[in-house]
Amino acid sequence: MLQILRHPYVKNGNAIGKIVEYAGEAVQQLSVDERATMTNMAAEVGAFTGIVRPDDVVVDFLVRERGLNADEVWESLEGLHSDTDAQYEQVLEFNAADLKPLVALPGDPGNGLFIEELGERVKIDIAYGGSCTGGKKADMDMYARVFKAALSRGERVHSDVQCFIQCGSQEVKRYCEEQGYIQVFEDVGATFIEPSCGACINAGPGVSYDRETVTISAINRNFPGRSGPGQLYLASPYTTAASAVAGCISPWES
């Protein structure tokens, strides 16, 4: 998503007031939670909304998570996509194979850079994983995967870093309990916060406390003052968790 946001067409405001449709092989391979991150962040694109053509992944999700009938779901989804002969105002193409871990520099979600382009070691004070963008089940899977790998190496959250993990709902919390993730978070040295809105709206743990505070976060926006007075870098759940362990902005190498 950070790659899309830094594209000149989007960064220059040309997508404001539009409807964004995400499509292609890479999108089709994403889970519903991951697609939800992209449609959620259509707001950062400036669009009225973002959509993904419904497919088997969506139907399987609704059957599994909501107990719905597959045939009835397919009927209800009829027409919730662009026509096959639709004409688009603009088509932006990205090769997912070329993507590398990115962060958005403080001030705007469109300030994306590959981590390898930072050019210097960026020490962090806070790592926050949560919000409607970074607090879903799939996001918890990512945090836990990184932290389990760290624990297997005898590593924990860096001593200079405050790390917070916050679920987006009680349902996600129950999922974490079932998966044993809350114990993983505790063992690695991360603080688990009850489901709620939080640092994304400048509330609760994870908010920066002065202008020098450097935060890496999986929330969706980093406009000045959005999450306190400090410097806020946006990143994926993988990068957020890996940076918490490293003590500086770092990609996760599985």
Render each residue's pLDDT in the chain as its tens digit; 254 residues: 999 999 999 999 999 999 999 999 999 999 999 999 999 899 999 999 999 999 999 999 999 989 999 999 999 988 888 888 889 999 999 999 999 999 999 999 999 999 999 988 999 999 999 887 888 999 999 999 999 999 999 999 999 999 999 998 999 999 999 999 999 999 999 999 988 878 878 888 889 999 999 999 999 888 888 889 999 999 999 999 999 999 999 999 86
Question: What is the structure's pLDDT at 162?
Answer: 97
From-to residues of CATH 3.30.499.10 in the chain: 102-246
Residues 9-27 pLDDT 10s: 999 999 999 999 999 999 9
Q: CB burial class (10 A; 0-12, 13-18, 19+) of residue 143? A: buried
128 beta partners: 164, 217
From-to residues of CATH 3.40.1060.10 in the chain: 2-98
| Crossing angle of the two packed helices 170-179 and 137-152, in degrees rounded to 10 | 30
pTM, rounded to two decimals: 0.92
CATH architecture of 102-246: 2-Layer Sandwich (3.30)
Question: What is the structure's pLDDT at 241?
Answer: 97
Q: CB burial class (10 A; 0-12, 13-18, 19+) of residue 195? A: middle
- Topology of domain 2-98 in CATH is Aconitase; Domain 2 (3.40.1060)
Tokens of 191: 């603080």
